[in-house]
Structure 1
Amino acid sequence: MRALVRASGYGSSSWLSPLLPLGTDRVSHLPAGTGSLAAAVETASGRQALVVGKPSPYMFECITEHFSVDPARTLMVGDRLETDILFGHRCGMTTLLTLTGVSRLEEAQAYLASGQHDLVPHYYVESIADLMEGLED
């Protein structure tokens, strides 16, 4: 089932994924994700959507224009390599992958081996709780 889900776009690098993941290994009765909704609007309007969500740096650029945010001092925490981690790299942030969500460490290792460094986090933790413990020290 996992191969079928990935083949249909869930594992793609596009934010326009046609599926919404409900769990790491269970796929059943998936509701429509943003990709299928955007595709419907694109088809009806005859226009292509402007992507402003991750991994596009657009929203982060808007934030940095109005607030004093230094990307070099910012940590992007996320659970998906193809959106969260890629977004962090594109915006010049340090990245942290939490392994309690979508992506797995083996996927990051495969991206590293293939030279796709913008999909490899600087750091990873098993859970966001591990990060909090480190901040308390």
Structure 2
Amino acid sequence: MIRRIAIVAATTLVGVPLLAGVSSAAKNDQLCTSGEFCLFENYEYNEPDHRYDGHTRQWTTGDRDYGDNDWFNSNDNLDNEASSVKNKNPCTVVLYQHPNFSGAASAFKPGAWDPYLKNNNIGDNRASSHRRFC
């Protein structure tokens, strides 16, 4: 009986990191909710005319290369396409110009929003990766 419990416990512990990795991915649903870091294709969070149209992408963790990410509900790649950002994540998130967290960078503290990335270091349509700092 003790041996069986140890095997189940070991299996459960081995599964925890895998489950944590799966559950840490944000549901990509065009909504930017608590705990998420969100990119928007257009300035002002895709709402220049106070209507929601355009591409979005959300994360709860970092991403070292946007080259393998598409915008929500689209086959359009988001690499070098973001124009605005919301950080509803509890950590500071740094957005980088190049994959693997390199190049020009801009940091967004928890709760920070930027309606037009052109006005900071990362610039408009230049983001390729981001990393969380907690």
Same fold (TM over 0.5): no
**Larger relative contact order, structure 1 or 2 (CA cutoff 8 Å, min sep 6):** 2
TM-score bracket, shorter-length normalisation: under 0.3
TM-score (norm. length: structure 1): 0.24
More helix by share: 1
- Bigger Rg, which one: 2
More strand by share: 2
TM-score (norm. length: structure 2): 0.25
